[in-house]
Amino acid sequence: MTETKARADGGMPKAQNPAAEAKAAMTEFLNAFKGFQTDVTQSLQQQEERLTMLDRKTMTYGRPALSAAADVDVPHKKAFGAYLRSGDDDGLRGLVLEGKAMSTAVAADGGYLVDPQTADSIRSMLVSTSSLRSIANVVQVDATSFDVLVDRSEVGSGWATEAAATSETATPQIERIAIKLHELSAMPKASQRLLDDSAFDVEGWLAGKIATRFIRAEAAAFISGDGVDKPKGFLTAPKLANGSWAWGSLGYVPTGAAADFAPTNSVDCIINLVYALGADYRANAAFVMNSKTAGAVRKMKDADGRFMWSDGLAASEPARLMGYPVLVCEDMPDIAANAFAIAFGDFNAGYTIAERPDLRILRDPFSAKPNVLFYASKRVGGDVTDYAAIKLLKIAVS
């Protein structure tokens, strides 16, 4: 009777149900695995933190600093250096094909444009030297000429009344001045053996040689160039006594002596020169003269015995005459009869220098063997753009 009841209940007690036992075992396994996974994750995080701290303490100062931005000029600089040393222009051509330097390469027969770093160093040397560039208006253009529009008159005006008709006033006059760009060139040379020397800084050497040649040519042209295949210098403009000055010419004042400054009250001519210039231009005006003239002018004293010349207080500060800066340009004329030895004016308004920003280099290994020639060229022009902004001092009685 007891055995029959046991079979009717399923043959075993309820506590020994296989499904419930399997479910409990699986739950226990999953809980254990989750705990193991948590322990492993925490251990890895702690290990990573220790390694990070060790890296900061021992390796930070040993690793090279990463560049914040890619230097886009490096490929062109390397390719340009290879072209200068060996004439290998495959790198430059490759940059053109890849579209990386379309603005910095031209046809092989016309040469290649220098890398930006070399061009900047040449431009910096041109600006920092004693050239009219430092005080003139310098513009960069992509055309073969640069036109300046000058409004050389005022719009008329008048007083209006309530009943009377308003009369027509004067119309301003617009003057167009065209500055043609001319080609300036230099052709330094170096031996192939020197170029093969990896220790030789060919880019720096080339920049220095080109800049030296360009400085001399530009400085002379901006002052006395005749405008034929070169810029037109401001001293080549027509000149009139300031009392009868007219547009299209530069006004001048005399020193009062035939071949020098007046023996007495010699500083008077400098004062006359300053106040011959309009008040609107004097605020930004400067003197231009050569070293010999500067040596004579710096000895001048006013009526109270004070020197009119004062040296700059800082290394980069120019000397001043009557409070105005002095630019010493050796291409200005010496003190002599009828010479225009000193100029005074606002050259930023009165003289404009126009140039193309590119500098082209052509390598020639054949014409001067065993040396290699480097033909460098740029285009620049200059002319007077405001005849009222510049006045001259003439070494003459009147």
Q: Residue type at 369?
A: K
pLDDT reading at 122 higher than 70: no
Residues 276, 325, single domain; the answer is yes
Instruction: Give the position of tokens 């002599």.
Output: 336
For residue 88, the model assigns a pLDDT of: 56
Residues 290, 195, single domain; the answer is no
Which percentage of the chain shows pLDDT scores above 70?
67
Element (H, E) at 183: strand 182-186
Residues 361, 212, single domain; the answer is yes
Assess if residue 379 is contained within a domain.
yes
Residues 292, 369, single domain; the answer is no
Cα–Cα distance between 303 and 38 in angstroms, integer? 96
Assess if residue 91 is contained within a domain.
yes
Output the domain CATH number for residue 121.
3.30.2400
Residues 82, 185, single domain; the answer is yes
Assess if residue 258 is contained within a domain.
yes
Residues 341, 300, single domain; the answer is yes
Rounded average pLDDT over 5-20: 56
Residues 90, 194, single domain; the answer is yes
Residues 209, 248, single domain; the answer is no
More confident: 167 or 58: 167
Output the domain CATH number for residue 320.
3.30.2320.10
Residues 126, 220, single domain; the answer is yes
Assess if residue 10 is contained within a domain.
no
More confident: 303 or 95: 303
- Structural domain that includes position 244: 235-351+388-394
Total count of domains within the chain: 2
Burial label, 174 (beta-carbon count in 10 A; 0-12, 13-18, 19+)? exposed
Contacts of 256 (CB under 8 A, 6+ apart): 262, 268, 269, 397
For residue 333, the model assigns a pLDDT of: 95
